[in-house]
Structure 1
């Protein structure tokens, strides 16, 4: 199967919400507990989120299949003087291990370089960390924090990572 990287369109919103939730629920248990996965997934799934983010100036790149259906995506916040934040990187579980994360991160890097930002940075899950490392990001530190879910405070972690561009 071949894929192409393109910009987000509003009719992609439902697919992106589904990709994020499927990735979290189906791949998340490889590194996170059931409670952590539930708390994480509960923060995703709203298709309006994507439309609002793009209207606020964020950029979303999609990896689309031959039928132009989204299979993976990355969401980039507006580049600032200190860098460009990679806020999301999700791949549908049916399309993993095909280089889509690497293609999306390469596209994000071109975008950031075109904006002349000095670095890319992210907070990568345990599962996304290897893809970011392969793309040249380095771990700055582990972030331990809590998410409120179902009336409980659930501990979880990710990694602050960055890639200098200058």
Structure 2
């Protein structure tokens, strides 16, 4: 098990993990229309390659398999944070979050903030994030409820 920084070639596994995590984990919280707006089943690999090159996520890898990833922007925004549905509830999401928090500390970022999904809200609460407000994001003309949360770093 290791944490690595994105390098060229990882974008396809990240895109597949993102799509699987949303469709399999989100089906109890969001409608099929919302899931398809959030993560189209026809994956746009060019988009994901560009996004990963720009965001350079941290990736949780085991036996050369991508099990999770997290994106940390320079302002402390956690944009994406997903764990493969076959490996959820095993501490990977928390390990990714702690890793990002350590990176934020080293970069002197004063706070982390996130738009947490209904599935992820509990993870963030357990890790010291405070709920600021409910939010309605519009993705491909579809409303998705999420939660604006933050954690002040010491």
Do they fold alike, i.e. is TM over 0.5?
yes
Residue 139 of structure 2 is aligned to residue 147 of structure 1: yes
**Pairwise CA distance, 1:50:** 4.5
Runs of 4+ in structure 1 deviating by more than 4 angstroms, as ranges, are none
Where structure 1 has 5 or more consecutive residues not aligned to the other structure, the ranges are none
1:68-126 superposed Cα distances (whole Å, 9 cap, x missing partner): 2111100112x13xxx1100011111111110000000000001000001100110100
Where structure 2 has 5 or more consecutive residues not aligned to the other structure, the ranges are none
Which residue of 1 is the match for residue 144 of structure 2? 156
TM-score (norm 1): 0.85
**Pairwise CA distance, 1:154:** 2.1
The counterpart of 1:74, out of the listed 70, 75, 80, is 70
TM-score (norm 2): 0.91
Aligned residue pair count:
154
Distance across 2 between alignment mates of 1:54 and 1:39: 20
Please say if residues 145 and 155 of structure 1, whose CA atoms lie closer than 8 Å, have aligned partners that are also in contact: yes
Specify whether residues 8 and 44 from structure 1 end up closer, same or farther in structure 2 by C-alpha distance, changes over 3 A only: farther
What is the RMSD computed on CA atoms of the aligned residues? 1.8
Please say if residues 21 and 44 of structure 1, whose CA atoms lie closer than 8 Å, have aligned partners that are also in contact: no
Which residue of 2 is the match for residue 117 of structure 1? 109
Q: Secondary structure at the match of 2:9?
A: helix
